[in-house]
Amino acid sequence: MKGNAKECSNYRTIALISHASKVMLKILQARLQQYVNCEFPDGQAGFRKGRGTRDQIANIFWIMEKAREFQKNIYFCFIDYAKAFDCVDHNKLWKILKEMGIPDHLTCLLRNLYADQEATVRTGHGITDWFQVGKGVHQGCILSPCLFNFYAEYIMRNAGLEEAQTGIKIAGRNINNLRYADDTTLMAESEEELKSLLMKVKVESEKVGLKLNIQKTKIMASSPITSWEIDGETVETVSDFIFLGSKITADGDYSNEIK
């Protein structure tokens, strides 16, 4: 449970996995690792060997410092998904893994792990009847972050972020996103470019069942920006943001981090 106990939406499922299955999951994790290294770009650092939050924090500070050095405006959108891990559609996930080049025998093992999945809810009045579950990666399973990363990578590819010319152009490179699992940050040199990137990601996310949480999605810019509305909701503009545990500000001042 996360947040107010009286809100049903704050509850999370917990997967009960046998010891024998955990051994197989460890083997599957090792087998999938080679595909993770081949398929995921440098912009995705979530749950990857030798990568971590510190890398992305250092990257975003470097980008802001270079933007200031070259006198570029910089616009960020910090995307928040509504229950990202819980909304992964199993059937779509198997198709995505196939498109990403995962061998059929590995996908078959994963399908068997998720086949006939059931859940129950414990309440103050006892336990409910069991019911079928067709969405969500297993909470507490070592493979879940990896499976979600494949799902998220599919979204970004279809949104065309790697090929897009929009972004921050620094040292001969075009950078328009930094990711850590479901924490996605988009960036551009103009408000129009940023909004274009956001809408592409939004459309492709919804195609596979993920929705943006507009109330928690934030905009931060180094220069004035107009108010944005998406699906009738206003996207909040902020002057600072906690990025993977580190505070970043619109003016690029990180003296508070040095303290």
Q: Do residues 27 and 131 touch, judged by C-beta distance below 8 A?
A: no
CB-count burial class (<10 Å; 0-12, 13-18, 19+) for 227: exposed
Give the range with max mean pLDDT: 139-143, 170-174, 204-208.
204-208
The yes-or-no verdict on residue 233 having pLDDT over 90 is: yes
Per-residue pLDDT tens digits for 31-69: 988 888 778 877 787 777 778 888 889 989 999 999 888
Q: Where are the domains of the chain?
A: 15-258
Per the rule left: phi > 0, alpha: psi between -120 and 50, beta: everything else, 158 is: alpha
pLDDT at site 204: 97
Per-residue pLDDT tens digits for 58-112: 989 999 999 888 889 999 999 999 989 999 999 999 999 999 999 999 999 999 9
What is the residue-averaged pLDDT of the chain? 87
Strands of the sheet containing 177-180, edge to edge, are 177-180, 183-188, 75-79, 218-221, 233-237, 228-230
pLDDT at site 20: 78
Q: Do residues 135 and 86 touch, judged by C-beta distance below 8 A?
A: yes
What SS3 class is residue 65? Answer: helix
pLDDT at site 154: 95
Name the residue with higher pLDDT: 143 or 37.
143
Name the residue with higher pLDDT: 253 or 64.
64
122 has which bridge partners? 127
d(CA 182, CA 196): 20
Number of residues assigned to the chain: 259
pLDDT at site 1: 52
Name the residue with higher pLDDT: 24 or 207.
207
Centroid of chain to Cα 214: 15
Per-residue pLDDT tens digits for 166-181: 888 887 888 899 998 8
d(CA 243, CA 187): 14
Q: Do residues 190 and 182 touch, judged by C-beta distance below 8 A?
A: no
The yes-or-no verdict on residue 27 having pLDDT over 70 is: yes
